[in-house]
Amino acid sequence: CIALVYIVFVQKKVTCKNMILCLLPTIYIILILMREEESGYFSYSIVSIVAIYIFLLLSDKIKIKIVQAFYVVVLVSIVICTFAYVYLLFGFPAKIVSYYTETYITNYYYQFGPLAILSSDGLLRMCGPFNEGGNLGTTCAFLYAIFDKKNTRIEKIILIIGISLSFSLAGWILLLI
């Protein structure tokens, strides 16, 4: 409903592409709600789906600006997290936050504001603004590919450092493809 209102009143044009962009996520959300109603479990993935849904409806210019801003945020977070990573390697203290629940005794985060480094059985994995190192590594690989022609050499090195210190197998595989 929100998407249709956005299309009609903000974009002021109804196209086949916009209608498909409204229909497909709506069907997906309905299927998720039906599944969750049976099991009694509520997934917060709907929030992500709605965010993607709204993003798809934005104009191409706004999408490009958002992706470029996200790229800068990821680069800055990798630089800050790299300093934090070295800081931890020298054994300096940092705020420790539990990993999902208290039952994961050997897994915890070192928190540096909104950024984190996961200690998983003694292995430090850079997470940046994400909740897991693999998310950062995969995101870095995708950003490396998306901005391949526009990346400066320093930006490429920063993204490779993000993939390396996150210990993300998916990040390396995507980078090599």
pLDDT of 71-114, one tens digit each?
999 999 999 999 999 999 888 888 888 766 665 666 778 888 88
Long-range contact set of residues 157-162: C-beta below 8 Å, sequence gap at least 24: 158/75, 158/78, 158/79, 159/75, 159/78, 161/78, 161/82, 162/74, 162/78, 162/81, 162/126, 162/128, 162/136, 162/137
Q: pLDDT tens-digit profile of 117-155? A: 888 877 888 888 888 888 899 999 999 988 888 888 999
User: Model-level pTM?
Assistant: 0.74
